[in-house]
Amino acid sequence: MRIVVLLKAVPIVGTERLLDAFRVDRGSGLEANGNDEYVLEAALQLTEQHGGEVTLLTMGPAGALEALRKGLAMGAARAVHVQDDAVAGSDARGTVRVLAAALGRLEYDLVFAGADSSDGLGGVVPAWLAARLGLPYLSYAARIEPGPGGATVRVHRISPTGFDLLEAPMPALVMGTQLLGEPRYPSLRGIMQARTKEIATWSLADCGLQPSEVGPAAASSEIVGATPPPPRGGATIVRDQPDAAVAQIVDFLASRRLV
């Protein structure tokens, strides 16, 4: 099974900020998006059990390299890094254009994506990409396995009461969640091996795209204002015995009309 994992390098959670032009600052401190590590883990387990290889694909700045190296150390075979000054500031549509074009140059049975990214929180890139590429789309996966016969993929899609067992022919795009399982830590051996693995760097032109199709120029919305919410903290601290403490909580909730 050849699996391409879409791995986004995001600002370290808790340190995100906007640049003056209201774009997300990707200049420093990037890490692999949490959800993408879950789908990577699932991809590695599938290829370990059923044969095949995992390719990482990312669109992002130079700083995304570290997240790719970690993915390679975890066990991916190779990585493709679409890096081009023109793609900075792309919205979801620009991102989909780039990822679709890059996938057009790769061979795969399955494409894996995370449920959402911690900086964008859109969660629409995977569905968009699948429809654009004409791939069956299986989302919110808690479990991914080969279907009977081997030409299909089966996914447990989380439902309000349990899961729906989905099946579709390959190639297909699967979007996955944390329920796929804890990602492994790279082993020392994995880290050593990763040094010799290939990271291909592709430009926009390599993907067959024009700069006008991506980046801020092609963005379809603009941020017109940004305000931090009122600061929190300065909490009232209660250290009384349980009964007295509870009386204080009730008074506090009543004062805010919450009980």
Partner 1 sequence: MGSAIWAVAELADGAPTRLSLELATLARTLAEAMGAEATTVLVAPGAAAAAPALAQHGPGVLVVDTAASEELASAAVVSARVATLAAERGPAWILCGASPDGKDVAGQLAALLDWPVLVNGAAVRWQDGAPLVEMSIFGGRLVTESRPTASPAVIVVRPGAIAAEEAPAPGAVEAVEVVPGRELPAVRIVERVAEAAAAASIEEARIIVAGGRGVGGPEGFAVIEDLADALGGAVGATRAVVDAGWISYSQQIGQTGKIVKPALYVACGISGAIQHKVGMQTSGTIVAINRDPDAPIVEFADLVVIGDLFEIAPRLAAAVRARKA
Ligand X SMILES: Nc1ncnc2c1ncn2[C@@H]1O[C@H](COP(=O)(O)O)[C@@H](O)[C@H]1O
Closest CA to 130 of 4, 27, 259: 4
**CA–CA separation, 81 and 60 (whole Å):** 7
Instruction: Mark 91-110 with x for binding to ligand X (rule: CB under 6 A) and - for no binding.
Output: ----x---------------
Instruction: Mark the segment that binds ligand X (CB under 6 A) among 19-27, 58-66, 70-78, 223-231.
Output: 58-66
* Residue 216 interacts with partner 1 (CB under 8 A): yes or no: no
Q: What angle do CA 217, 219, 224 make, to 5 degrees?
A: 100
Instruction: Compute the least distance from the CB of residue 123 to ligand X, in Å.
Output: 5
Per partner kind, with CB cut-offs from 5 to 8 A, the member of ligand X, partner 1, none near residue 149 is: none
* Residue 79 interacts with ligand X (CB under 6 A): yes or no: no
* Binds partner 1 (CB under 8 A): choice among 104, 122, 150, 208: 122
* Residue 6 interacts with ligand X (CB under 6 A): yes or no: yes
* Binds partner 1 (CB under 8 A): choice among 77, 92, 106, 191: 92
- Per the rule left: phi > 0, alpha: psi between -120 and 50, beta: everything else, 233 is left
* Binds ligand X (CB under 6 A): choice among 77, 100, 106, 124: 124
For the stretch 78-107, what's the b/e string if a residue is b when 16 or more beta carbons lie within 10 angstroms of its beta carbon? bbbbbbbebbbbbbbbbbbbbbbbbbeeee
Closest CA to 99 of 127, 65, 137, 138: 127
Instruction: Mark the segment that binds partner 1 (CB under 8 A) among 48-56, 67-75, 175-183, 186-194.
Output: 175-183
* Residue 136 interacts with partner 1 (CB under 8 A): yes or no: yes
Per partner kind, with CB cut-offs from 5 to 8 A, the member of ligand X, partner 1, none near residue 137 is: partner 1
Instruction: Compute the least distance from the CB of residue 192 to partner 1, in Å.
Output: 30
**CA–CA separation, 112 and 155 (whole Å):** 12
Per partner kind, with CB cut-offs from 5 to 8 A, the member of partner 1, ligand X, none near residue 221 is: partner 1
* Binds partner 1 (CB under 8 A): choice among 58, 83, 95, 177: 177
**CA–CA separation, 183 and 41 (whole Å):** 5
Binders in 11-30 for partner 1, by CB under 8 A: 13-14, 16-18, 22
Radius of gyration of the chain (CA): 22
* Residue 253 interacts with partner 1 (CB under 8 A): yes or no: yes
- Per the rule left: phi > 0, alpha: psi between -120 and 50, beta: everything else, 162 is left
DSSP 10-34: EEPTT---B-TTS-B--SS-EEE-H
Residue 56 is inside which H or E element, if any? Answer: strand 53-59
Instruction: Mark the segment that binds ligand X (CB under 6 A) among 17-25, 56-64, 190-198, 219-227.
Output: 56-64
* Residue 145 interacts with partner 1 (CB under 8 A): yes or no: no
Residue placing its CB nearer to partner 1 in the complex, 53 or 91: 91
Q: Strand pairing partners for 138?
A: 174
Q: Which residues bind ligand X (CB under 6 A)?
A: 6-8, 33, 35-36, 58-60, 95, 113-114, 116-117, 120-126
